[in-house]
Structure 1
Amino acid sequence: MKTLAMLPLACALFAVTAHAAPPKQAAIVTKGKDMSAGNLSLNIATIPTPPTGTTQTDRGSSGSIDRQSYTTPTGTVITRDGRGRIIASSTTTTAGETSTTTHRDGDGRIIGNTYKSPTGTETTRNARGVITTTATTTTAGDTSTTTYRDGSGRIIGTKYVSPVGNVTYRDGDGRITGPDFK
């Protein structure tokens, strides 16, 4: 008897669920096909799934997000500040063993390019085309040393990666520093 009393409530819930709002039309791709017999139109709707990428989050000492970088499946890197505003983006184009990365600011203006040659040397230029840094990597066995030079050819610093993966940065005078050579 109690089961029958609950039946109208179950039907009412089903009715509400059955009449839920359809998905947004902007997210639906519809393809039509004309059937020759009777001129019937067959519409097939598919909702495209967004591509997935990787996200790297940098947090401050308080635990709040300082910066977040999202890499799309096509290789574009979008960097946002703690408030979610785009502060930089980089798009890489690869042809054979060479690649060119275009760097843009938050407003989409080009702020520089990085060109990687087949030999592994990376040359970074500013928006005016002036060379700002050059990075050359030398590998011997499991170790690698990258030497960074400014536009004049002076050594800014080096990055040494040991066989176990430890990274050591040194400035132009040979002092151990952080990744920014300061």
Structure 2
Amino acid sequence: MNLLKKGLLLLMISSGMAVATYAQDDNDVVLKAERIKREQLPPEVLDAFQKRFPTANLRDIMKIPTELYRKDFLIDETNPIGNDDYYTLTMTGTKMDVEAVYDKNGNLIRANEIARDVELPTTISTYIITNYPGFEIKKDRVKRVIEPTRTEAFWEVTIAQSRGVEKRLLFNKDGNFIKSR
């Protein structure tokens, strides 16, 4: 159920609709995420995003109250995060898409970045040439999850033969093969 809520929240955010948690009884508070303009974004958040993603264009901003963020993103209640608002920024750039969540002080909570058609590590090219003769690279992308203390990344490469046979290959951040789909 929580996965469904997360998916619905992301869908609503990306489609521009306001997100609301409605009261089930008269004592509950209605919480909603709202689309805001660039001018309403705290300067600390604007500066932080411009430093981390200098070539990205800011496309959409959603302001999310802590209570809604905590409920829908499973914040650990033993480590409370205060009553600050959070900001989800959707950005695009040359061959990349980014969605990032910042607190009001400009601290990055988490970002998901997808870059397309970037230069592949030599280990990936070598692996494909060695293990898939007759295949050529059709498209590639690197997916990164960026958090304050760690970054995870993996490569997804689509290869094809002239006869129409297509495969998707996954590699870790170092270019080592993980699996084929």
Structure with the higher fraction of residues in helix conformation: 2
- The alignment's TM-score, normalised by the length of structure 2, stands at 0.36
Structure exhibiting the larger radius of gyration computed from Cα positions:
1
- The alignment's TM-score, normalised by the length of structure 1, stands at 0.36
Structure with the higher fraction of residues in strand conformation: 1
Higher RCO (CA-CA < 8 Å; seq separation 6+): 2
